[in-house]
């Protein structure tokens, strides 16, 4: 120590940091029954424990990642009647059971009528009237606004008033694929939790341990879902979706050696089914991305592991440049469809650009 020099250390910040570290360590993410996203569970549990719950949250990430599941578990933790410790829902009380079933009187679900639809201003205004009332029986009235990127401009603007004048007994939870799809003024008033894909090995293990799937099937679903637990579970519970995927990949393989007339007939048929068309293109896109990865020598795991022989064959036949161009062509087609370009015309252009064996 230098003579004549005095050092002062503020003990309070260190104590707060140690308290936060102890709290972080004792929180058990498994109590939320989530596959992955432990950091988000710990953060939300910690806010409940320290009574620093925010009035609005935004959970972002791709579909099937677990945004809605995390929101439901958070709602359970907020209103559990007999938590083992703050932030950990018991899962058995009346409130936990009702929230899990999305039937709790103080849980409000707002979303468009169907995926890809429009969330309208009348729905937000109805929500606002409900939020003006005190909770019926719970500590918090929780509103889940799912897929809020589907809200039209009027609905988004209407929600701003609620975000600007929050009630202390209301918690709003928005979900969206990307915060950039929402108004910056909405994002700035929410605590944003950006969810990322879960490691494939973790999804694989979770499917085996929690849902009892055989190892081979769990590995396949973990890869196909590309680290999205919700999507993997949905595929497991809906075998027809897996059968459709196989059919679309078989169609793709046949189209590579088909004539222009055969390709146009297929394009015309598919263009009449817009929802199926988007799903088909996403499956084809995942395959060409795998070909691109394989051609480049990347160590990233492929998504379509059950089609590895086909991926190797396409990589050998077409190489890196064609794989890159095919990815770009499919992405461009998806963008055109999103801009409401004629589906048949968009598909015919894609068929013309498709490589040929």
Helix (H) or strand (E) holding 68: helix 67-79
- End-to-end CA separation in angstroms for the chain: 78
Taking each helix axis from N to C end, the angle separating 343-353 and 260-271, rounded to the nearest 10 degrees, works out to 150
What is the chain's length?
Answer: 357
pLDDT digits (tens, 9 = 90+) for 216-267: 999 999 999 999 999 999 999 999 999 999 999 999 999 999 999 999 999 9
* Rounded distance between C-alpha atoms, residue 182 and residue 145, angstroms: 13
More confident call, 306 vs 114 = 306
pLDDT value of residue 10: 52
pLDDT above 90 for 202: yes
- Token representation of residue 322: 């064609």
pLDDT band at 14 (very low <50, low <70, confident <90, very high): very low
Residue 15 has pLDDT above 90, yes or no: no
pLDDT at residue number 161: 86
CA distance 116 to 126: 21
* Residue 24 pLDDT > 70: no
Q: 264 vs 25, which has greater pLDDT?
A: 264
More confident of the two residues 120 and 25 = 120
List the single range of 44-53, 122-131, 271-280 with lowest mean pLDDT: 271-280
pLDDT of residue 25: 47
pLDDT number for residue 164: 87
Q: How far apart are CA 95 and CA 336, in angstroms?
A: 45
Query: What is the crossing angle of helices 239-255 and 260-271, to 10°?
Result: 150
Q: How far apart are CA 49 and CA 88, in angstroms?
A: 9
87-129 confidence digits (pLDDT tens): 999 999 999 999 999 999 999 999 999 888 899 999 999 999 9
DSSP character for 119?
B
Distance of CA 270 to the CA centre of its chain: 27
10: Cβ–Cβ under 8 A, 6 or more apart, which residues? none
Residue 153 has pLDDT above 80, yes or no: yes
Is the pLDDT assigned to residue 26 strictly greater than 70?
no
Residue whose C-alpha is closest to residue 62's, from 191, 196, 152, 164: 196
pTM of the model: 0.84
């Amino acid at each position: 120590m230098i003579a004549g020099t005095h050092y002062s250390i503020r003990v309070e910040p260190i104590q707060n940091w140690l308290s936060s570290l102890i709290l972080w360590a004792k929180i058990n993410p498994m109590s939320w029954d989530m596959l992955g996203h432990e950091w988000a569970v710990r953060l939300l549990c910690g806010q409940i424990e320290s009574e620093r719950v925010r009035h609005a949250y935004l959970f972002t990430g791709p579909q099937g990642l677990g945004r809605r599941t995390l929101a439901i578990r958070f709602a359970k933790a907020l209103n559990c009647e007999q938590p083992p410790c703050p932030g950990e829902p018991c899962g058995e009380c009346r409130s936990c059971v009702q929230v899990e079933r999305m039937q709790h009187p103080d849980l409000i679900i707002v979303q468009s009528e169907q995926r890809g639809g429009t969330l309208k201003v009348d729905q937000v205004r109805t929500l606002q009237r409900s939020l003006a009332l005190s909770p019926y029986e719970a500590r918090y009235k929780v509103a889940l606004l799912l897929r809020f990127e589907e809200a039209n401009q009027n609905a988004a603007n209407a929600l701003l008033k609620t975000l600007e004048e929050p009630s202390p007994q209301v918690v709003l939870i928005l979900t969206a694929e990307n915060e950039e799809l929402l108004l910056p003024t909405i994002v700035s008033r929410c605590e944003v939790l950006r969810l990322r894909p879960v490691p494939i090995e973790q999804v694989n293990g979770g499917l085996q341990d929690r849902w009892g799937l055989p190892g081979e099937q769990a590995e396949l679903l973990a890869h196909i879902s590309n680290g999205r637990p919700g999507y993997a579970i949905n595929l497991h519970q809906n075998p027809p979706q897996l059968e459709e995927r196989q059919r679309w990949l078989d169609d793709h393989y046949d189209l590579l050696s088909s004539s222009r007339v055969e390709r146009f007939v297929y394009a015309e048929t598919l263009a009449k089914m817009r929802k199926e068309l988007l799903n088909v293109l996403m499956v084809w896109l995942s395959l060409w991305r795998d070909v691109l990865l394989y051609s480049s020598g990347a160590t990233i795991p492929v998504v379509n592991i059950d089609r590895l022989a086909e991926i190797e064959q396409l990589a050998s036949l077409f190489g890196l440049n064609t794989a890159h161009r095919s990815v770009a062509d499919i992405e461009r087609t998806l963008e055109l469809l999103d801009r409401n370009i004629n589906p048949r015309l968009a598909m015919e252009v894609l068929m013309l650009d498709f490589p040929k064996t």
